[in-house]
């Protein structure tokens, strides 16, 4: 299963490092990462492969939500298949 992970909030040191560390600790492969900072607002989208993960999708959601709260950002984890279906044009 692939996940779409989005991070939005005020920019600060350690956001990418924190999310990447969670991925590495739980054997989740980062396939794509794109981030931009606009007027001090941090926005990142990551596609990750959970096939080899040692935790469940729900556990990943909880872990990243908690990490986001500690950083003062919102982190959402969504199933990529559902995300793609919801955002399909036409």
Query: What's the rounded Cα separation, in Å, for the pair 65 and 51?
Result: 21
What is the reported pLDDT for 80?
A: 75
In a domain, 18, yes or no: yes
Q: pLDDT value at position 88?
A: 66
What total number of domains does the chain contain? 1
Sequential DSSP letters for 18-43 = HHHHHHHHTT-EEEEEEEEEETTEEE
Residue 88 inside a domain? The answer is no
Q: What range defines the domain where residue 35 resides? A: 2-77
CATH number, residue 65? 3.30.70.260
pLDDT in tens, 56-73: 999 999 999 999 999 999
Compute the residue count for the chain.
Answer: 90
- Using a 10 angstrom Cβ sphere, with 0-12 exposed, 13-18 middle and 19 or more buried, the burial of residue 48 is buried
Is the pLDDT at 83 greater than 80? The verdict is: no
């Amino acid at each position: 299963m692939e996940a779409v992970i989005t991070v939005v909030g005020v920019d600060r040191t350690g956001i990418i490092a924190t999310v990447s560390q969670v991925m590495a600790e739980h054997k989740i492969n980062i396939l794509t990462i794109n981030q931009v900072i606009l007027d001090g607002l941090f926005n990142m989208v990551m596609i990750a492969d959970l096939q080899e993960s040692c935790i469940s999708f729900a556990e990943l959601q909880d872990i990243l939500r908690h990490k986001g709260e500690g950083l003062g950002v919102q982190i959402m984890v969504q199933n990529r298949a559902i995300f793609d279906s919801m955002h399909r044009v036409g």
